[in-house]
Amino acid sequence: MAKKRILSGMRPTGQLHLGHWLGVLTNWERLQGEYDSYFFAADWHALTTKYNDTADIRQDTRLMFLDWLAAGVDPEQATLFIQSSVLEVAELNLLFSMITPVNWLQRNPTVKEQAEELHLAEDSMTQGLLGYPVLMGSDILAFKSDRVPVGKDQLPHLEFSRDMARRFNHLYGQTFAEPQAVLTEAASMVGTDGRKMSKSYGNDIKLADPADVVTQKVMTMVTDPQRQRRTDPGNPEVCTVFSYYKVLAPQLVSQVDTECRSATIGCVQCKRRMAETLNGALDPLRERREHFARQPDLLDDVIRDGNRKARETAQETLAEVREVMKLNVHTPAVTKSPR
Ligand code: SF4
């Protein structure tokens, strides 16, 4: 039986950090063997908020792909591609924009959140940002993805794509299956200062950071502020380092808890042990990164092959879409039977 298809994307924001790895990439690595997997760099999505700052978008896309490969996303098992290389997604986005009521978008939580996050005045909302959920749905439906990996909080976003599929099927006949969620657990990683990990806060630990940089960042992490002296008992629950133990070394959590509360370990020692643990976890990523860094053509080949395969898949869907919508009788012949 053919594998179910899955699709997931990430905006190219440059080098990725631990939050991306443990929140997204470990899930991709797990899912890629089980599903016919498509993972893409969402460069068009990046334009919805960064249309006036595109200087680094190509370089950021390459760096992001390198991080994916370093994290074990395997081009032998998954199709890795760049969204803007698959023009059929833009065509489907246009067709869906014809049939999507504007009030669906105006009440969509994604659009509202983005506008609030960016402190956008109503008159600076672009058509691209307002229509962002349609583009997201077009990504999913262009590839006829059966499944989409999402966290619980992202379920409403997927529901929008399901609404799009239902509306299209109602208007033109059964064409799209409604994509289902694969609920994923995302380990939440705070930054070195205890806030949400983010490049813009300067509190992130990058997957590409060398071991000495990782150690130095761990040594600056915020701990229990009440623990002033080595002999003071600490409260691990308010400590950033302890939250890393929970994710990266759960087998040590109860030991660290006891050592901290009884002041039998100092914060410096506790951080050193975490730095070693983290560097040990990142070593396999460093090896894989080195493999690709030694042969720059390899990354180009991965992207070129992925773009080609992704485009072929989306072309099949668009041929079917044009047919049911009675558009363009001179549509090129479909080479494979529709899925
Ligand atoms: S001993 Fe470890 S867990 Fe306790 S406050 Fe220090 S760094 Fe945090």
* Tens digits of residue pLDDT in 51-110: 888 999 999 999 999 999 999 999 999 999 999 999 999 999 999 999 999 999 988 877
CATH code of the domain containing 37: 3.40.50.620
- Is residue 50 located within the same domain as residue 124? yes
Mean pLDDT of the chain: 92
Residue 115 confidence (pLDDT):
72
- Is residue 61 located within the same domain as residue 157? yes
Structural tokens at position 146: 């059966």
Strand 180-183 to strand 78-82: parallel, antiparallel, or no bridges (unpaired)? unpaired
CATH code of the domain containing 249: 1.10.240.10
Unique residue bearing structure tokens 């619980």: 152
- Amino acid letter for position 170: H
Residue 256 near ligand 1, beta carbon < 6 Å:
yes
- Is residue 24 located within the same domain as residue 87? yes
- Is residue 32 located within the same domain as residue 50? yes
- Is residue 244 located within the same domain as residue 116? no
What pLDDT digit, counting tens, does each position of 215-257 carry?
A: 999 999 999 999 999 999 999 999 999 999 999 999 999 999 9
Residue 244 near ligand 1, beta carbon < 6 Å:
no
199 belongs to a structural domain: no
Residue range(s) defining the domain that contains residue 220: 209-292
- Is residue 54 located within the same domain as residue 116? yes
Residue 186 near ligand 1, beta carbon < 6 Å:
no
Using a cut of 0.75, tell me whether the model's pTM lies above it.
yes
Looking at the 3D structure of the chain, how many domains does it have?
A: 2
Nearest CA to ligand 1 atom 7: 267
- Give the 3-state secondary structure of 206-261: ECCCCHHHHHHHHHCCCCCCCCCCCCCCCCHHHCHHHHHHHHHCHHHHHHHHHHHH
Neighbour-count burial for 86-101, b at 16+ CB within 10 Å, e otherwise:
bebbbbbbebbeeebe
SS3 280: helix
Q: What are phi and psi of 148, to 5 degrees?
A: -135, 125
Distance CA 326, CA 32 (A): 36
Ligand 1 atom closest to the Cα of residue 267 is: 6
- Is residue 133 located within the same domain as residue 215? no
